[in-house]
Amino acid sequence: MFLGCHLSISKGFLSLGREALSLGANTCQFFTRNPRGARGRELRPTDVASFLQLAAAHGFGPMVAHAPYTLNPASQDPRVASLAQDILRDDFRRLALMPGIFYNLHPGCHLGRGAQAGMDKAMELLSQVYPEDGKTVVLLETMAGKGTELGRDFAELAYMLGRFQYPDRIGVCLDTCHVHDAGYDLIEDLEGVLREFDQTIGLARLKVIHLNDSLSPRGARKDRHAKIGQGLIGLSTLARLISHPSLAGRPVVLETPNDPPGFAAEIELIRKTLGLKRAFDPANSSQGA
C-alpha cells in the first residue's frame, strides 16, 4: 500500500522526500504554491532529480501535487479566470519535471450562476490550458458540497470528466471526509457507494484517496476534517475502504489536522490495523540520494 500525508516543499523536494521517509510514508502530497495565494516556488531540476532518485530507491508510489485553494476555474469573472489560467499553465509546466505525478484540484464554485454553467466553464478553461503533449494526470476531487461547490456528487464529476478534451489524462481523487459530508454512506453501505461510483464514473478513474475522518454527520456538507478514528466515520470504515480489493494500488494520502509526528502515528496506526509491515526502516530515511 502506498500510504503518506500532505507535506511542505518549503525546503525543497529532496527534503520533502526525506521527511516522508522519516514518517514511514512511501508517497505524499504537496501544494504547488501558496494554498491561499498564487505565487509558486520555482522548481530546481537538480533538487527534483535528487528527490526522484530517493523516491525510486525506496519504492515510492505516485505522488500528488495539489492546486491552491484560490484556483476557481468555474468563475465567470475575467480576472479570476485569467488567474486560474496562469496558475494552471505554470503548474503543468513545472510538473512536467516529475513524471507520473497526479495533479489534484477542486473543480471550483459556480457562485450562483448554476452548476451547469460552472461545470462547462471549468472544463472549457482546463481543456484550453492543458498542454497538447502533457503527461500529468489531472484529478478532480470529490467535494463536500458546501456553498456552490462543484463535484458534490458522482454525477457532476462524471459530467465534467466527459467534457475534458484529453480523456486519458483525467481522473478522480476520492476524499473520504468530503463524500461522507456530501451524503454518501461509507459506514453502512460502502459496497453500495463503490458500486455507484463504478456505475457513474468507473473505478478505473479513481486514482487517489484522501483519507480523512469527519467531524460532521453524514450529509452535513461542511467539510470539517478529523484525525483518523476521532471522527464520525471511524477507523474501521476507513480501513475497510482503503483495503477494498477494487481500490488496490491507489495512493492514500492523509489530510488530517496533524503535525508530522501526528502523521507518523496515523500511518503506523493504519498499517497496524491492516496488518501491514512498514515499507522500509525510517531510520534509514536519509539514505538513497
Angle at the Cα of 195 from the Cα atoms of 194 and 198, rounded to 5 degrees: 85
Quote the cell numbers at residue 225.
476534517
* Alpha-carbon span 247 to 204, nearest angstrom: 9
* Alpha-carbon span 64 to 66, nearest angstrom: 6
The shares of helix, strand and coil residues in the chain, as percent rounded to the nearest 5, are: 40, 15, 45
Do the Cβ atoms of 162 and 209 come closer than 8 Å? no
Q: What is the pLDDT of residues 215-241, one digit of tens each?
A: 999 999 999 999 999 999 999 999 999
* Alpha-carbon span 129 to 222, nearest angstrom: 31
Phi/psi at 250 (5° precision): -75, 135
Check if CATH label 3.40.718.10 holds for domain 3-284.
no
C-alpha dist (Å) from residue 142 to 14, 59, 241, 278: 30, 28, 15, 29
Quote the cell numbers at residue 241.
475502504
C-alpha dist (Å) from residue 257 to 64, 77, 230: 18, 33, 11
Give the burial class of 148: count Cβ atoms within 10 A of its Cβ; 0-12 exposed, 13-18 middle, 19 or more buried. middle
Q: Quote the pLDDT of residue 43.
A: 80
C-alpha dist (Å) from residue 44 to 20, 95, 97, 167: 19, 11, 9, 30
**β-strand pairing of 213-214 with 3-6:** unpaired
Q: Quote the pLDDT of residue 42.
A: 75
Q: Quote the pLDDT of residue 286.
A: 45
Q: Quote the pLDDT of residue 285.
A: 45
Q: How many CB atoms neighbour CB 122 within 10 A?
A: 28
Q: Quote the pLDDT of residue 282.
A: 52
Do the Cβ atoms of 126 and 88 come closer than 8 Å? yes
In this prediction, the residues of the chain whose per-residue pLDDT falls under 70 are 37-38, 278-289
Q: What is the pLDDT of residues 246-255, one digit of tens each?
A: 999 999 999 9
Reported pTM: 0.94
* Alpha-carbon span 147 to 221, nearest angstrom: 9
Query: Which residue is listed with cell 466515520?
Result: 233
* Alpha-carbon span 159 to 116, nearest angstrom: 9
Q: Which of 232, 153, 253, 246 is nearest to 186 (CA)?
A: 232
* Alpha-carbon span 143 to 184, nearest angstrom: 11
Q: Quote the pLDDT of residue 287.
A: 44
